[in-house]
Amino acid sequence: QAYPDAIMCLKYEELLILLLHSKGGESLYALLSQQTNRTSERLRRFMEQHYLKEWKLTDYAQEFGASLTTFKELFNEHYGISPRAW
């Protein structure tokens, strides 16, 4: 099962690269960048409001509205450290 998932992930990456390099790819890139910045800002505000709560990591992810994996990835991208290490 993991092998087909890896292939699908690569196919999604390939599709995204093709779209970004197509005619209008600049607009797509700008849209994706803008969305990433919004999510990062939302995470920052969320953590400022909730960092003192004694929640499990799964609770933080659930309250943020993301899967545990996505929350960890976003957190690491924004803060440069894992949530557990933070």
* Range 2-10 average pLDDT: 83
pLDDT surpasses 80 at 58: yes
* Range 4-19 average pLDDT: 90
Q: How confident is the model at residue 53 (pLDDT cuts 50, 70, 90)?
A: very high
Where b means 16+ CB within 10 Å and e means fewer, 39-62 reads beeebeebbeeeeeeeeeeeebbe
Tens of pLDDT along 30-44? 887 777 778 888 999
Global pTM reads 0.60
* Cβ atoms within 10 Å, residue 19: 13
